Each structure stands twice: as structure tokens, then as C-alpha cells.
């Protein structure tokens, strides 16, 4: 029992890479992270965990999202041509009439096309570009292929988007489940998203490793529910 507690602390320390959280969690029992973790290699700690399910984020973790910034000017030109509106007018109409909200100062391109009834045009452009070049992260895919436990995806994206990537890169058989923005009315920044995921896919968080690229959405929020979380660059370092 004591040994198990020790491992849990060590794992937490290594995965969170956060001195302060460990000190708080253990009531200042440990002075520094290295006091408990210095002689444990991360790969040993990971191997020691009982992980029955591995879940991956999609955008930025499996998918190289540079495709979206690359296509943005071309997509906006198409939308402008099809609607007869300038970019400024498109933005104004989207916010006032279609009630779209900006995130980090910009509107989501897919939401724009959807609002103007041009979603098929959007997906056509994405599909054409995906066929031209590898936007899938091959090193991550190779690593996922070696995992024998249950594997899934949990993303904010629409199912249609993920299925398109799966089709083009022949990844249909790699995952046991795909949980998307269509499966929850919340996004990953809400614990309710994670609760929907747990319910739908019958997941016990402490037996689940989540791998993503966004500290807040993919680690800070799910770890409050007990998910073991690791960011993609650290995941790739593990043997």
C-alpha cells in the first residue's frame, strides 16, 4: 500500500512536472520534486501504471494543423467570391446575424463556411489539400501503432473532419473509438465534456492516459477528474 502511494506520487510529479502541486498535494512533506523522482526514470513510472486506455487529442497532436493557416487566404477568397461579400462584410455578418464568436481574435473558418451554407465547399478544399501532402504526424502514428491497449481519440473537432483525415491517411482501424465535438455540447475546457466522454466510452479516468498538446484543455482540466495526462512531446520521448 505504501509502495503504491509512493508510485502514485512519483508518477504525479513526473507527469505534472510541477514542484508546487506536489508540495501542496503532500502537505509540504516533500521539499522538492527531485526528492521523490530523481531516481525514477519517466519510462519506468509509465510502465508501472495500470493503463487500460490511451486517448489522444487530434488537432496538433495527431494532425498537423498548419494546413488550416495555409489554406486560410484561399478559403476566404472562395467564400468572398461565393457570397459576393468582402472579408470585412463576411466577418460583420457572421457576428451580427449568425452570432458567431471570435476566439483569440478570429472566427473559426469552418464555422464561417457553415454559417453561410458552404460547408461542403470547405471540406472539398481541405480534402484536396490533404491528398497533396502529409499533414499527419507520422512519428506519433508509429508510436500509437505499438500500443496494444484500447485506444481512442477525444477532440473538439466535428466527426466529419476527423473521419475525413482517417479516410485519407487510412487510419480507420487504428482507434477503438472516436469521441468528437458532436458527442458533447461542451468543449475540452469544461469538465462536463470529460464526463460525457467517460459515460459514453465507459472510461475510468485513473486507468486512462490522455495525450494532447494543450496544457489547459488536455492536462489541467482532465487531471482534475483523475486522468493521467501527458503532453505530446513528452509522450514521444517515452520508450
Nearer to Mg ion, 76 or 164 (CB): 164
DSSP annotation of 206 reads G
Nearer to Mg ion, 29 or 160 (CB): 160
- Report the alpha-carbon distance of residue 222 to residue 191 in Å, rounded: 7
Cα-Cα end-to-end distance for the chain: 27
Element (H, E) at 179: strand 177-179
- Report the alpha-carbon distance of residue 220 to residue 238 in Å, rounded: 21
Residue number closest to Mg ion, CB atom: 60
Nearer to Mg ion, 57 or 201 (CB): 57
Nearer to Mg ion, 16 or 157 (CB): 157
Positions touching Mg ion (CB under 5 A) are 57, 59-60, 213
DSSP annotation of 176 reads S
- Report the alpha-carbon distance of residue 135 to residue 57 in Å, rounded: 15
Nearest Cα residue to 60 out of 220, 214, 192: 214
Burial label for 71, CB within 10 Å (0-12, 13-18, 19+), is middle
Q: How far is the CB of 193 from Mg ion (least distance, A)?
A: 13
CB 210 within 8 A of CB 230: yes
Nearer to Mg ion, 116 or 137 (CB): 137
- Report the alpha-carbon distance of residue 107 to residue 98 in Å, rounded: 12
Nearer to Mg ion, 67 or 95 (CB): 67
Nearest Cα residue to 104 out of 165, 189, 163: 189
Amino acid at each position: 500500500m505504501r509502495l503504491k502511494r509512493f508510485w502514485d506520487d512519483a508518477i504525479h510529479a513526473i507527469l505534472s512536472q510541477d514542484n508546487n502541486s506536489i508540495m501542496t498535494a503532500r502537505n509540504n512533506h516533500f521539499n522538492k520534486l527531485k526528492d521523490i523522482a530523481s531516481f525514477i526514470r519517466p519510462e519506468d513510472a509509465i510502465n508501472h501504471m495500470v493503463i487500460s486506455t490511451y486517448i489522444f487529442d487530434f488537432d496538433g497532436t495527431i494532425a498537423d494543423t498548419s494546413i488550416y493557416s495555409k489554406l486560410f487566404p484561399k478559403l476566404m477568397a472562395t467564400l468572398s467570391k461565393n457570397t459576393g461579400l468582402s472579408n470585412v462584410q463576411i466577418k460583420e455578418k457572421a457576428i451580427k446575424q449568425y452570432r458567431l464568436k471570435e476566439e483569440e481574435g478570429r472566427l473559426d473558418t469552418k464555422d464561417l463556411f457553415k454559417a453561410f451554407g458552404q460547408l461542403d465547399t470547405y471540406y472539398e478544399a481541405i480534402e484536396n489539400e490533404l491528398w497533396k501532402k502529409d499533414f499527419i504526424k507520422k512519428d506519433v502514428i508509429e508510436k500509437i501503432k505499438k500500443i496494444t491497449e484500447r485506444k481512442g481519440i477525444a477532440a473538439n473537432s466535428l466527426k466529419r473532419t476527423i473521419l475525413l483525415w482517417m479516410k485519407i491517411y487510412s487510419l480507420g482501424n487504428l482507434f477503438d473509438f472516436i469521441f468528437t465535438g458532436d458527442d458533447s455540447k461542451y468543449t475540452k475546457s469544461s469538465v462536463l465534456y470529460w464526463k460525457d466522454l467517460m459515460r459514453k466510452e465507459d472510461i475510468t479516468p485513473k486507468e486512462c492516459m490522455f495525450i494532447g498538446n494543450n496544457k489547459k484543455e488536455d492536462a489541467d482540466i482532465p487531471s482534475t477528474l483523475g486522468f493521467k495526462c501527458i503532453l505530446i512531446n513528452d509522450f514521444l520521448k517515452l520508450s
